[in-house]
A and B are shown apart, each in its own frame.
Chain A
Amino acid sequence: MTQPPPTTSPTRPGISVPDLLVALALTALGIALLLGSFQIPFGINAVVGPRVFPLIISVGLTALGLLLTISVLRGGRAEPAAEEDTDMEAPVNLAAPGIILGGFLLGAAVLTTAGFVIGTAIMYFSVAWAFGERRIGLMAGVALAVALVTYEAFTRGLGLNLPPGFLKGII
């Protein structure tokens, strides 16, 4: 998904492969929903069963997905959104979101065993790293502090149940 800077015209000839994949994925999702709709029983004693609305939506999604596919095949492509902290001229760095996602899933996977504090500290650390921070000691300290304060505030202050993990009894 290396994308040229958005200064180029959207009507430039040539088919954008990422755009095409997105359009096809949406169409496929529509078809999957359609097949899933047929799995829903008609329902008894109902004029309109639980199947009708899903059918309408899946047909609509499939049709819209096909329309998008056609528009992409004719050279249409999407302009990436501009956000507060983004630089649209900068080269796209896909490693950073990958690190965030990996850190998040790792933190979620160990959340119940290692506990909330460790799990969310891993998430915090990976986001800070992905955003270019490299002072490891500072990051680890802030990550643990934020996780611990959040844990204490939510469990003691608001009475929520968060998993303590192996720190049980200590925090």
Chain B
Amino acid sequence: MDSLTSLMSGFETALTPLNLLWALIGVTLGTLVGVLPGIGPALTVALLLPVTAKLPPVSAFIMFAGIYYGGMFGGSTTSILLNTPGESASIITALEGNKMARKGRAAAALATAAIGSFIAGTIGTLLLTFAAPAIADIAVQITPSAKFALIMLAFVTISATFGGSPLRGLLSLFLGLGIGLVGTDLQSGQARFAMGRPELLDGIDFITVVIGLFAIGETLYVASRLRKGKFNVIKLEGGAVMSKEDWRRSWGPWLRGTALGFPFGAIPAGGAEIPTFLSYTLEKRLSKHPEEFGNGAIEGVAGPEAANNASAAGVLVPLLTLGLPTSATAAILLAAFQQYGLQPGPLLFITNGDLVWGLIASLYIGNVMLLALNLPLAPVWARLLLIPRPFLYAGILVFSTVGVYSLNNSVFDLGLLALFGVIGYGMRRFDFPVTPAIIGVVLGPTAEAQFRTALQQSNGDFSIFVRQPFTAFLMLCALAALVVPQILKFRAARRAA
């Protein structure tokens, strides 16, 4: 087994004391930012990128992977104890888990979420271990035109197919694509949209965009509609534990949630929201006591949380094998690879096998660490929710400033940061999803490069995008992903009328 030998050497990389330390720092930070409102894994990795530039790439990515998985674990703590989902994939956990917590079953809800996340994360990583090299083998042969078509498909599914409003998702995507255009065109050396500013010739750093849209935008928006009065955080005594009965009721949902979550993450289908909803519906249907759902059924926490984490593992498949990010955090990870001069894709497994397998091995280790961090230490994390908001958000803003300023030591960048902060505020206020914009900024330049390479190979003949069967198939998928949901919606509306 090729994967196994590679994985073993990956463990050798990941199990060095220093890399174990980075993994521990990563999962701790990840849980921390997952619990805290206003800051998440995507933002944290973006903030850390400038300061990790001096680390060896393997160590940096082991830490980033820890943050990525840790954020998922931490997010469920907030949903259960505070009833306010930090992201759409935690809506169900907030719904069902908070009901459990209110009935005095907070410990069991946290335990089933953490153990479920561990099981789903581990199975997901196992699937990644064996699926990724196989897909990479096939992906080596993908032509530039097919690569472009694949990016189109990801663009459409992420912004239009599964979002609330396809139009707003696409606008967000095009805004990101437009931002990605600013700067010197690498192929021709021509400046584009630089408006005569020398600072813009190098392009707008995606870190500035991410921190502006997420951190500053969120701070401005929350300030405008701040929840007044005391926080209704549920007290937690002792660690997260569950009874035999809870175990009996949880293991099925964990496995079924994993089965739903992983494929949804692996295909470019835009996030963990759909599988969590599917898992919830499935568990409700299979349950012997469906009346408990909506009043704190443990299955309603176990299944969706497993689905959420399995899809997080699934997202790494297209990221590592095709260089295709399907979530905001994955887009940041892709940009992080590019920052180190690495291009995720099929060749990465050959050229940087050490790094990839060290990263995958660290996911197994990180999952174990997260379980150990989250079960007994749950009350510690819960206390983080009591941090007074004025000091929390002020701190986030200061760290954002350091992160962006240290990119180029430029006050101009801080002006850009403020601009993207205002745009981020507007996107929240006017219901534009932020993820498509981030994907557009990070993936736009790659899309353009593949587009131009493909056309150069065909001497400017645009039919290259429909002539090759595989490219044509992907283009057709992208078109279907754009049109079919609209037709279904239209028909449903007509039937209702």
Binding site for B on A (CB under 8 A): 1, 18-19, 22, 26, 29-30, 33, 36, 40-41, 43-44, 46-50, 52-54, 57-58, 60-61, 64-65, 67-68, 71, 78-81, 83-88, 90, 92-94, 96-97, 99-101, 104-105, 107-109, 111-112, 116, 119-120, 123-125, 127-133, 139, 142-143, 146-147, 150, 154, 158-163
Contacts and interface: CB of A to CB of B under 8 A. Distances in A.
B190 A123 contact: no
Given A120-B401, A123-B397, A67 B224 contact: no
A50 B190 contact: yes
A79 B402 contact: no
B456 A47 contact: yes
Given A68-B168, A71-B167, A78 B174 contact: no
Q: Among A54, A124, A131, A154, which residue has the most Cβ atoms of chain B within 10 A?
A: A131
Contacts of B167: 64, 67-68, 71
Interface in B273-292: none
A143 B428 contact: no
Nearest to B455: A48
Nearest to B78: A84
Contacts of B343: none
Interface in B238-283: none
Contact of A78 (B218, B226, B429): B429
Given A132-B226, A154-B402, A162-B405, 6 more contacts: A53-B452, A85-B222, A87-B226, A104-B216, A112-B411, A142-B391
A105 B422 CA distance: 12
The secondary-structure label for the interface of chain B is helix
Interface string B65-97: 000000000000010001011100000000000
Contact of A158 (B51, B84, B409, B411): B51
Enumerate the 10 nearest inter-chain pairs by beta-carbon distance, A residue then B residue, closest first. Answer: A84-B37, A133-B390, A131-B390, A78-B431, A127-B394, A96-B223, A50-B185, A97-B220, A87-B227, A108-B414
Given A85-B389, A86-B222, A161 B409 contact: yes
B394 A128 contact: yes
Interface stretch (B175-183, B313-321, B354-362, B484-492): B175-183
A49 B390 contact: no
Nearest to B220: A97
The secondary-structure label for the interface of chain A is helix
A160 B213 CA distance: 24
B103 to A, nearest CB: 22
Interface string B422-448: 100110111110000000000010001
A84 B85 contact: yes
A61 B171 contact: yes
B393 interface: yes
Contacts of A161: 406, 409
Given A85-B84, A85-B389, A150-B402, A46 B223 contact: no
29 contacts: A19-B430, A33-B193, A43-B185, A46-B187, A50-B190, A54-B192, A57-B177, A57-B178, A64-B167, A71-B167, A78-B431, A84-B82, A87-B225, A88-B225, A90-B226, A93-B223, A93-B224, A93-B225, A100-B397, A104-B216, A111-B405, A123-B398, A124-B394, A146-B394, A150-B398, A154-B402, A160-B50, A160-B51, A163-B409
Q: Among A64, A71, A162, which residue has the most Cβ atoms of chain B within 10 A?
A: A64
Interface residues of B, number: 73
Q: Among B84, B86, B394, B415, which residue has the most Cβ atoms of chain A within 10 A?
A: B394
A125 B428 CA distance: 24
Contacts of B456: 46-48
B397 A92 contact: no
Contacts of B192: 36, 40, 50, 54
Contacts of A142: 391
A1 B425 CA distance: 13
A156 B152 CA distance: 45
B342 to A, nearest CB: 22
B218 to A, nearest CB: 7
A61 B175 CA distance: 7
A146 to B, nearest CB: 6
Contacts of A68: 167-168, 171
A132 to B, nearest CB: 6
A50 B192 CA distance: 8
A93 to B, nearest CB: 6
B469 interface: no
Contacts of A50: 185, 187-188, 190, 192
B399 interface: yes
